[in-house]
């Protein structure tokens, strides 16, 4: 499955021509198209016809491919926000049929929820935050289905791809599966062992090559520091333009003449694996996307999540009587916590930060990712308090900004994102920083509610300075929207302190 062919590989020069001529405003449109017949036959006909102009090429494409359907927002209604979100779940639920030969779509055994907008498939880290809302809404069977879908991907692919398209298989996403598994209500020994097996497979994927690394060595997603500490970075196993952003990646490489194109494209892809595509966090100068250097940073969010994964494996193997494995993974979690404390803490700035491999020190940039060690529970109390104080710099009328830099990229100021609000709120509450957690939650919910009342929509991202739709990046602000729905439902429940239907294993 790792060799699953992407549209760019199947259609080669035809795919490049369609994307580089800009036949579709969104490059993802053609990457998601369904061929009407065998790819080899389509490509052979294209080579024979060789459509010269854009209109001729457009006719050829529409004669041979079915374009994906666009998302349609439901009519504006007068329902309270929580009721509106619960009514959205059926509209966002999908069942994957058998993909057409040559389609980028990947098959899944069970129903699932998509984010919305241009995001027509199952996405990895998005889904954890969506599943919080599904559980809150009494949609436990959908939660179980999505856990099983991700398990199926781990069995078939060896990891959970960024999303369920062939062009996403070369990378993953922030590893939230162990937290999804904790949402399951299947307490049978068989169910627990299945989920444990999937967690171990995910750990194997992220740590591939670690045992052969010398001091100071790097391989794919693993880095060994000079002191022997093992930590991870984001990566992508391909160094080609992204199928879903082909035109943009080719143009960027042409503009960044001094950079090796393959290195540039891998760094773009690695940022996509991080979920933060794109952010000044990854840019050498903070503003020029051509200076992206994702693979030269050891991210604090990724390593906090892997600490959580190792803890979860240790706890579950211990509960299932596998004492030796439990001891091994507990030791790995402890070693990772020490490595994070030693290498991902910026003492002068007073917050957690990514480690810059080229500069040999933590990055000076404050980002909302600094909250992840609090979320994972690995921060010392004093450091948690200092990090909370630093995070106040990101607080705005609508919640937490992603960074302090307004670069024009979507994972930067003035934008705020639902998952990062949840991570910060949960982490701050864990360490008793309830005032700041409450401020973030209240401001976020008030903004989302106000936008819903005005527009009838829930958005992928928000401008937390003006309390309006977010902007920036490669595409417009999408509506739907899975993780905003999930996080908002949870925050509404926290705010209102009222019983809500369903929402757990007793439903």
Q: How far apart are CA 42 and CA 47, in angstroms?
A: 9
The answer to whether the beta carbons of residues 107 and 100 sit under 8 Å apart is no
Quick check: is 460 catalytic? yes
**What per-residue confidence (pLDDT) applies to 97?**
80
**What per-residue confidence (pLDDT) applies to 422?**
98
Share of the chain above pLDDT 70, in %: 97
Q: Among residues 458, 442, 399, which one has the least CA distance to residue 81? A: 458
Q: Give yes or no for residue 499 having a pLDDT over 90.
A: no
Helices (H), 68-188: 81-92, 124-136, 140-157, 177-181
**What per-residue confidence (pLDDT) applies to 70?**
82
Q: Give yes or no for residue 506 having a pLDDT over 60.
A: no
DSSP string for residues in 186-213: --SHHHHHHHHHHHHHHHHHHTTTGGGP
Pairing mode, strands 218-219 and 355-356: unpaired
CB within 8 Å of 98: residues ≥ 6 apart? 107
Q: How far apart are CA 100 and CA 113, in angstroms?
A: 21
pLDDT in tens, 190-239: 999 999 999 999 999 999 999 999 999 999 999 999 999 999 999 999 99
Q: Is 406 exposed, middle or buried (0-12, 13-18, 19+ CB in 10 A)?
A: middle
The answer to whether the beta carbons of residues 158 and 171 sit under 8 Å apart is no
pLDDT in tens, 266-275: 999 999 999 9
Catalytic site residue from 105, 243, 249, 277: 277
Beta bridge partners of 400: 395
Q: Give yes or no for residue 416 having a pLDDT over 60.
A: yes
Stretch 447-461: mean pLDDT, rounded?
96
CB within 8 Å of 27: residues ≥ 6 apart? 19, 243, 244, 245, 246, 247, 248
Its pTM stands at 0.97
Q: Give yes or no for residue 505 having a pLDDT over 90.
A: no
**What per-residue confidence (pLDDT) applies to 497?**
64
Strand ranges for 357-481 from DSSP E: 361-362, 395-396, 399-400, 415-416, 462-463, 468-469
Tokens matching residue 143: 């939660």
Q: What is residue 168's DSSP assignment?
A: G
**Could you tell me the residue ranges of all domains in the chain?**
1-68, 83-206
**What per-residue confidence (pLDDT) applies to 504?**
56
Catalytic site residue from 460, 463, 474, 490: 460
Quick check: is 506 catalytic? no
Q: Report the half-sphere exposure of 28 (CA within 13 A, side-chain side).
A: 15
pLDDT in tens, 330-382: 999 999 999 999 999 999 999 999 999 999 999 999 999 999 999 999 999 99
Q: Give yes or no for residue 120 having a pLDDT over 50.
A: yes
**What per-residue confidence (pLDDT) applies to 164?**
97
């Amino acid at each position: 499955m790792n060799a699953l062919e992407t549209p760019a590989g199947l259609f080669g020069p035809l795919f490049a021509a369609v994307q580089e001529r800009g036949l579709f405003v969104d490059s993802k449109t053609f990457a998601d198209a369904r061929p009407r017949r065998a790819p080899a036959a389509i490509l052979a006909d294209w080579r024979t016809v060789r459509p010269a102009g854009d209109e001729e090429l457009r006719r050829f494409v529409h004669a041979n491919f079915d374009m994906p359907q666009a998302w349609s927002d439901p009519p504006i209604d007068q329902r309270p926000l929580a009721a509106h979100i619960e009514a959205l779940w059926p509209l966002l639920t999908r069942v994957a049929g058998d993909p057409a030969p040559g389609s980028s779509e990947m098959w899944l055994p069970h129903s699932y929820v998509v984010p919305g907008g241009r995001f027509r498939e199952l996405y990895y880290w998005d889904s954890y935050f969506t599943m919080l809302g599904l559980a809150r809404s009494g949609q436990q069977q959908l939660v179980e289905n999505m856990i099983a879908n991700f398990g199926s991907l781990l069995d078939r692919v060896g990891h959970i791809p960024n999303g369920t398209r062939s062009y996403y298989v070369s990378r993953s996403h922030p590893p939230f599966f162990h937290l999804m598994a904790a949402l399951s209500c299947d307490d049978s020994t068989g169910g627990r062992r299945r989920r444990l097996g999937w967690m171990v497979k995910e750990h194997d994927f992220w740590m591939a090559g670690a045992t052969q690394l010398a001091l100071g060595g790097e391989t794919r997603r693993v880095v060994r520091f000079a002191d022997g500490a093992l930590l991870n970075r984001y990566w992508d196993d391909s160094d080609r333009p992204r199928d879903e952003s082909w035109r943009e990646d080719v143009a960027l490489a042409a503009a960044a003449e001094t950079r090796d194109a393959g290195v540039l494209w891998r760094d773009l892809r690695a940022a996509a694996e991080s979920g933060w595509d794109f952010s000044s966090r990854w840019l050498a100068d903070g503003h020029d996307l051509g200076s992206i250097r994702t693979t030269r940073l050891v991210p604090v969010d990724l390593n906090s999540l892997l600490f959580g994964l190792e803890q979860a494996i240790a706890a579950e193997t211990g509960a299932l009587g596998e004492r030796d494995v439990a001891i091994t993974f507990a030791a790995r979690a402890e070693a990772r916590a020490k490595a994070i404390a030693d290498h991902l803490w910026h003492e002068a700035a007073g917050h957690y930060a990514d480690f810059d491999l080229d500069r040999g020190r933590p990055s000076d940039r404050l980002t909302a990712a600094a909250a992840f060690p609090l979320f994972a529970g690995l921060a010392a109390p004093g450091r948690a308090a200092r990090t909370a104080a630093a995070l106040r710099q990101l607080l705005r009328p609508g919640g937490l900004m992603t960074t302090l830099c307004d670069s024009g990229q979507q994972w930067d100021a003035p934008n705020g994102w639902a998952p990062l609000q949840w991570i910060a709120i949960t982490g701050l509450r864990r360490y008793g920083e309830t005032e700041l957690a409450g401020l973030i939650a209240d401001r976020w919910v008030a903004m989302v509610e106000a936008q819903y009342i005005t527009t009838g929509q829930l958005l992928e991202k928000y401008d937390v300075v003006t309390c309006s739709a977010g902007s920036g990046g490669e595409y417009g602000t999408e509506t739907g929207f899975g993780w905003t729905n999930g996080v908002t439902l949870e925050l509404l429940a926290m705010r209102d302190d009222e019983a809500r239907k369903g929402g757990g294993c007793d439903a």
